[in-house]
Amino acid sequence: MTGPLLVERRDDRVIATLNRPEKRNAIDQQMIDALHALCTELEAEPRTLIITGSERVFAAGADIAQLRERRADDARRAINAIAFIRISELPMPVIAAMSGHALGGGAELAYAADLRIASPTLRIGNPETGLGIMAAAGATWRLPEIVGHARASEMLLTGRVLDAGEAMDWGLVSAVHRADELLAAAHALADRIAGNDPLATRHTKRALRAPRHEHPDIERELQAELFESDERMRRMTEFLERRSSR
């Protein structure tokens, strides 16, 4: 299989593997185009998305050769940022399973996920200022939401790269698994998601992603819709029947 993104499709999930091994999975325009195409598919047919790389590298950043040639108009197009926003706003959860380096744009892709897990080899951070640019594909607003303003400031202003233990301690990842067990752990998360009501999952993600000023109104409306669903009635009835049988 070739191409910058290898896609495996299942009934309840899609596994997307970043695939530019010769460039350490650096994110180039072709990969961004492939991610947009995948988003189009998952917006029409919502499923959980698992994004991963190789055991050696998740994504070592943007493609510097391409990035060096970009100018102000390219920056204003927000090429990576728009793709990562679209990934973040997919209806069903997105899981980033990371081994090795997740730097620059690779880190920002991971920040756009709902769930992040790692192997012990993870090295994650944003060294952009050392290259004369800034992390402009979501890090300056997503990272403070994930780890807090003080820690995000340290990472973004100093270029500090966290190892897996630090990323776990800071709440940037929720679990660390052996590299050869990482994808299985991502599938275990997807299995748990698949066991729940898809509409309830989608509504929960929507509420989690909503800005503070939309709460609590958004919960009321989403919950009202769920209270009228046949699936809610079926699941609650089964729960009560199981409990009574015990």
Q: Angle CA(38)–CA(186)–CA(181) in degrees, nearest 5?
A: 130
What letter represents residue 62's amino acid?
Answer: A
- DSSP designation for 228: T
Average pLDDT over residues 40-54: 98
Do both 94 and 185 map to the same domain? yes
Together in a domain, 22 and 121: yes
- Ranges of beta strands (E only) in the chain are 5-9, 13-18, 48-52, 57-59, 94-98, 101-103, 115-118, 123-125, 161-163, 175-176
pLDDT one-digit tens code per residue, 129-185:
999 999 999 999 999 999 999 999 999 999 999 999 999 999 999 999 999 999 999
Domain count, the chain: 2
Same domain, yes or no: 96 and 140: yes
Q: Which of 155, 171, 194 is the last residue of a domain?
A: 194
Catalytic residue of the set 43, 128, 145, 219: 128
Whether 128 sits among the annotated catalytic residues: the reply is yes
Task: Identify the three-state secondary structure at position 92.
Answer: coil
Mean pLDDT value of segment 114-128: 98
Q: In which band, very low, low, confident or very high, does the pLDDT at 74 lie, cut at 50, 70 and 90?
A: confident
Summarize pLDDT for 195-213 with one digit per residue, the tens. 999 999 999 999 999 999 9
Q: How far is CA 76 from the centre of its chain?
A: 23
Q: pLDDT per residue over 3-33, tens digit each?
A: 999 999 999 999 999 999 999 999 999 999 9
Q: Are residues 164 and 107 in the same domain?
A: yes
Residue with tokens 């192997």: 119
Kindly report, residue by residue over 210-246, the tens digit of the pLDDT: 999 999 999 999 999 999 999 999 999 999 999 998 8
The mean per-residue pLDDT over the stretch 25-48 comes to 97
Rounded average pLDDT over 94-104:
98
**Is the domain of 179 the same as that of 238?**
no
Q: Is there a single domain that holds both residue 130 and residue 58?
A: yes
Q: What is the CATH number of the domain that holds 42?
A: 3.90.226.10
Q: Which of 43, 45, 108, 219 is catalytic?
A: 108
Per-residue confidence at 1, pLDDT binned at 50, 70, 90?
low
Could you please report the per-residue DSSP string of 94-152?
EEEEE-SEEETHHHHHHHTSSEEEE-TT-EEE--GGGGT---TTTHHHHHHHHH-HHHH
140 and 59 in a common domain: yes
Residue 119 pLDDT > 90, yes or no? yes
How far separated are the first and last CA of the chain, in Å rounded? 51
Which backbone phi and psi does 17 adopt, to 5 degrees?
A: -110, 120
State whether 10 and 34 are in the same domain. Answer: yes
Is 108 known to be catalytic? yes
169 lies in which domain range? Answer: 5-194
Taking all residues of the chain, what is their mean pLDDT, rounded to a whole number? 96
Q: Are residues 180 and 211 in the same domain?
A: no
